[in-house]
Amino acid sequence: MKIDYGRRELDAVHNSSFIRKRVLIVLFLLMPIPAFLISMTVGTFPITTGEIVGVISTRLGLEMGHPSVYETVIFQVRLPRVLLAMTVGSALSASGAAFQGIFRNPLVDPYILGLSSGAAFGAALSLGVVPWIPVQVSAFVFSLLAVAVAYTMARTQGRTPVVSLVLSGVIVSAVFSSLLAIVQIAVDERALQSIVYWMMGSMNTASWSKLESSLPLAFLGCLGILTLRWRLNVLALGDEEARSVGMNPERYKGIFVISAALASSSAVAVAGIIGLLGLIVPHMLRMIFGPDHRTLIPLTITFGATFMVLVDDLARAALGFEVPVGIITTLIGAPFFAYLLRRTRAGGWE
Amino acid sequence: MTISRYIAIIALCLYLAIPALGAPMEVEDNLGRTVTIDQPCQKIVFLVENALNTYYSIGDPETVLAIGDNIWKRELKEDFFKAVDPKFDDKVRIGFDAGLVSLETLAAEDPDLVVLWATSPEDENLNAITETLRIPVYAVFITSSGDMYKQVRDMGTISGKTDRASEVEAIMMSYVEEVTSATEGIPDEDRPKVYWMWSDVLGTAGRESGFDDLIYQAGGINVMNYWDNDASYVEHPTVPLETLINLNPDVIYMWYNEKLDPEDVIRGTEFAGWRDINAVKTGRVYEIENPFLFDAFSPRMPMALMHLAKNIQPELFADMSIDERMDGFFGEMYSVHYPGYAAM
């Protein structure tokens, strides 16, 4: 009798833990909604929540008198910026989680294959040397080029060993960093200032056209990772283990690298280099929900969007002047990450 | 007066004059450093272009020994430099390697003085030249129109042509006064609010910048003066777009921008969020189209002021022809005509 009672108690504990986890997952999946609503009320232009509701009501056909500038601030300034921040956050976080899975390494971020160095070089080229090429296009092309070179370099005899990928990423990063240094030396002081500011990452020039150019590619990249996410669990076990269950690891590594590169390149091209986000968001979630990519990937997409948009709120409104969002990401993310790291064993990888 | 007394007075005068002839003298650069030079310098290396521009209006071009090979927008300037210095193409070019000046090339020229841009006494090039080569260095760091006038006086001291330097200073001041005499009486509330747009679009000129002064002299008021935030005082603050919309400038003045035109700001899809700003609504978005002619941190600062004034206060300066004034200015400063830079 005693034993039966113990089993029932254990079952109850297990069920309550299961339910708690499910509720938590749903909460994290829905988090972007309140974050979006809060962000729409944050800004340096003096406009109340009631006035925002009035402006939106007018858009919906209800006549509510208000100055036209309110509509501009809500629909042309805040809305594209909030949506862009969410897109960038999702793209970088999902890419980070995918790269960490492929590389089986918790220290990996979306920039492991030289993507950020390539993007920085592309942006610098546009800002200081060939101004007729748009910064966004140049950054995007060179970030993808860097990843393509790193991937091709690492591929030998139809295989792409993880160690070779890491090393080729390091080499490509170093080459593009050197090229960037040459551009920085050659350009004038003002162009140099623009390059440095771009590299800090910022969304202060967000617009619908930037969102339109970034969103489809980020969506495509995230969709690829999301659809195939369970295969990351197999890849995370190692190439031999993947082959033993009938999976072609090379094919899926390639698909994940392309998807992650596409998503993060489209984000970096419009927002500059935002450090740490792609590293800490997947980590935070792994510490809370464990390493199963079937749960992890959807959560990185939603929580990445939430985290980024809230951080951008601080960047644009906390001090009354613009602070590059990359700085805030690091300043806020690092202590929170350290706290979680101390509370969990091996950062959730065990 | 006896002959012996007369000879004694002449001897005394000569005695007093000897220390001034060829004696080392001191000049304070823009960083507050005291630079000891032999007056006048016969072999000067210019690693900064704005001081070279000033020097050409005062000193002998023959004494310009070498120049830095880092001239920005060379294609806009070469005709001018060749006109005021026929041997411009033959001057030695001093290269830079990873941002550091080529010390060996510099040492080979053995100059009396090097003039370079430095924002602090810890500047690497400044210290490398003074400590390694033991060559005096005059550091240029211009942040206001006052600094420009000082540069004119210092170039006079360096070249030994202080009278010409005084003339140049007076020429510059007279052109500035042509504008300020018309604008100084305008009350602040009647001045159009001006947003200065650097090439990073939301980066602007702060309250304590050189362009704040220039905008005021031109009859406007820098919109940063209405921004209640400490960041408005820094030289190059970045303004959130929502703040800019709220500040609502009447005029937007763009620094030379290869990626944007005023038309992009007025009608471009990237600037849809700017459409309720007064300057955009009224089409009052202007650009410094030629960064050489209207360089506010060069002796052509009065021309930059006139360019600004003509657009900020169009009614006040309706009769002013920039081209005519430019021709007069280049004539007085460099003895060449504008445009074309033909010798007078």
The residue of chain A nearest to residue B269, with distances taken between CA atoms, is: A209
Please answer whether residues B196 and B211 qualify as being in contact, where contact means their C-beta atoms are separated by less than 8 angstroms.
Answer: yes
Domains and CATH numbers, chain B: 26-160 (3.40.50.1980), 176-334 (3.40.50.1980)
Using a CB-CB cut-off of 8 Å, the residues of chain A touching B47 are none
Q: How is chain A split into domains, by residue range?
A: 31-39+69-348
- Which pLDDT score, from 0 to 100, does residue A332 have? 82
In the predicted model, what is the mean pLDDT of residues A310-320? 90
Interface test with B, best of A133, A180, A185, A190 (most B CBs within 10 A): A190
pLDDT tens track for A195-250: 888 888 888 889 999 999 899 999 999 999 999 999 999 988 888 888 998 889 98
Q: Are A321 and B237 a contacting pair at CB < 8 A?
A: yes
Angle at A267 between CA A266 and CA A270, to 5 degrees: 90
Using a CB-CB cut-off of 8 Å, the residues of chain B touching A210 are 270
Per DSSP, the three-state class of B206 is coil
Using a CB-CB cut-off of 8 Å, the residues of chain A touching B202 are 204-205, 322
The fold adopted by the segment(s) A31-39+69-348 is: ABC transporter involved in vitamin B12 uptake, BtuC (1.10.3470)
* Nearest CB to B240 within list A207, A208, A322: A322
Whole-complex ipTM:
0.79
Instruction: Give the pair of three-digit tokens for residue B193.
Output: 């609010």
- Which pLDDT score, from 0 to 100, does residue B18 have? 46
Strands (E), B76-192: 92-94, 96-97, 100-101, 113-117, 137-140
Those residues with Cβ within 8 angstroms of residue B234's Cβ, 6 or more apart along the chain or in another chain: B206, B208
Distance from the first to the final alpha carbon of chain A? 36
Using a CB-CB cut-off of 8 Å, the residues of chain A touching B141 are none
In the predicted model, what is the mean pLDDT of residues A110-124? 89
Asked if A46 reaches chain B (Cβ–Cβ under 8 Å), the answer is yes
Using a CB-CB cut-off of 8 Å, the residues of chain A touching B98 are 181, 185
Using a CB-CB cut-off of 8 Å, the residues of chain A touching B229 are 319-321
- Which pLDDT score, from 0 to 100, does residue B221 have? 98
* Nearest CB to A207 within list B202, B272, B276: B272
pLDDT at residue A188 tops 80: no
Low-confidence ranges of chain B (pLDDT < 50): 16-21
Give the helix/strand (H/E) hosting B24.
strand B24-28
- Which pLDDT score, from 0 to 100, does residue A311 have? 94
Q: Mind telling me how many Å the CA of A238 is from chain B's nearest CA? A: 43
Those residues with Cβ within 8 angstroms of residue A28's Cβ, 6 or more apart along the chain or in another chain: A285, A299, A302, A303
- Which pLDDT score, from 0 to 100, does residue A58 have? 84
DSSP label of A207: -
Question: B-contacting residues of A 48-77, CB under 8 Å?
Answer: 68-69, 72-73, 76-77
Sign of the dihedral defined by the CA atoms of residues A176, A177, A178, A181, in that order: positive
Query: How far is B130 from A75, CA to CA, in rounded Å?
Result: 57
